Amino acid sequence: MLGTLVVGLGRAGAGLHLPVLRRLGHGGGRPFGRPPITVYDPRRRLGDAELGDIAVAHSPAHAATLVDPERTVVHLCTGPSARLRPLTELVDLGFRRFLVEKPLAGDEVELREVLRLRDHGRLDLVPVAQWRCSELTARLLGVLAGGRLGRLRSVEFAQSKPRFARTLAGDDHPSAFDVEVPHSLAVALLIAGRGEVVAAGCTDMLLGDAVFPALGGAWVRLRHTDGVRTDIRADLTSPVRERRITVELEGGTLVGHYPISAADEYAQLSVRTKGGKVDSVFRDDSLGAFIARAYRHFEGTEPITDEPATGAAVVSLLAEAKRVAGLRAPVEVPR
């Protein structure tokens, strides 16, 4: 069995990955033969008893003494702009299996370094893209594959939530493009195939007298190879939460709602045609399904063949969207 090391205990690591891992049977009691979880947070020192039955490492080197690097999956849950250093340190210690939070890298400069590390160290690198394992996404793809509603015309994503507290706390997300948009881009590429950015923009977050540049919201339009258009909008200042996808087909419209949080893991789908409307509600634990799928990949029983290529494509589209939106490009430091 593979061991587990979670690096970074912010919202993604502590709030999302750890609960899923425990639910899937990873933990100190070794249910189903799983080794215990080990955690390390580069930003703060954790007490040995702080997380109960979970082992606490105080450095990457310490983590390598608690687990077998060759038989461990690393959940790299640091922010996108604070990812390259821990990844490099862990690779130098012999870790080879990485489940990397979205997006795979903060920009194209960092992406080149991540892919160079992958090639040099022969890493098995899988970016987190849980909506690709969503039951809602599967049902949308099923309708498209069935062909009864004709060809795909357009895809639209609307994502909104208030994100003031986390922005104030600082979590290494450089812009609104890096928060919710990667989820939508991964699904758009799955549904409509390769695409290019044709328009993009972003807004600042205003909170009292404070201004957080480019963290209020973001939007991007893609044109896919067969003429299909995708529009993605994310509002991080909204008072309400929503994750909606609208798929326009020749013969009807699909409107889906992804779960808004782990508090209620149910999705909804409405299939609308000239003949009427059919609504459905169903459980959709997309992150649990994705992590279980990733472990089958790392164990060699069910390989994921299109990663990290899809994750890299998402980073490239994000970088182009930021350029089109007028955000300052990263400066590449000569080596």
d(CA 124, CA 298): 8
Q: Using the predicted structure, report yes or no on whether residue 105 has a pLDDT greater than 80.
A: yes
d(CA 92, CA 60): 10
pTM of the model: 0.92
> Predicted confidence band at 28 (pLDDT cuts at 50, 70, 90)?
very low
d(CA 7, CA 14): 10
In-domain check, residue 234: yes
Among 30-39, 81-90, 266-275, the range with the most confident prediction by mean pLDDT is: 266-275
Q: Give the mean pLDDT of 277-299.
A: 96
Average pLDDT, the chain: 91
Q: Using the predicted structure, report yes or no on whether residue 184 has a pLDDT greater than 80.
A: yes
pLDDT at 156: 98
Q: How many folded domains does the chain comprise?
A: 2
Residues 140 and 245 reside in one and the same domain: yes
Task: Calculate Rg over the CA atoms of the chain.
Answer: 20
pLDDT tens digits, residue range 110-133?
999 999 999 999 999 999 999 999
Q: Using the predicted structure, report yes or no on whether residue 104 has a pLDDT greater than 90.
A: yes
DSSP reduced 3-state for 255: strand
pLDDT at 21: 92
Q: 59: domain CATH number?
A: 3.40.50.720
In-domain check, residue 312: no
Residues 138 and 279 reside in one and the same domain: yes
pLDDT at 35: 66
| Token pair in block for residue 17 | 């990955």
d(CA 157, CA 164): 21
In-domain check, residue 224: yes
Q: Give the mean pLDDT of 84-92.
A: 95
pLDDT tens digits, residue range 33-79?
456 799 999 987 776 555 667 889 999 999 999 999 999 999 999 98
Q: 182: domain CATH number?
A: 3.30.360.10
Q: Using the predicted structure, report yes or no on whether residue 163 has a pLDDT greater than 80.
A: yes
Residue 228 CA, chain-centre distance (Å), reads: 24
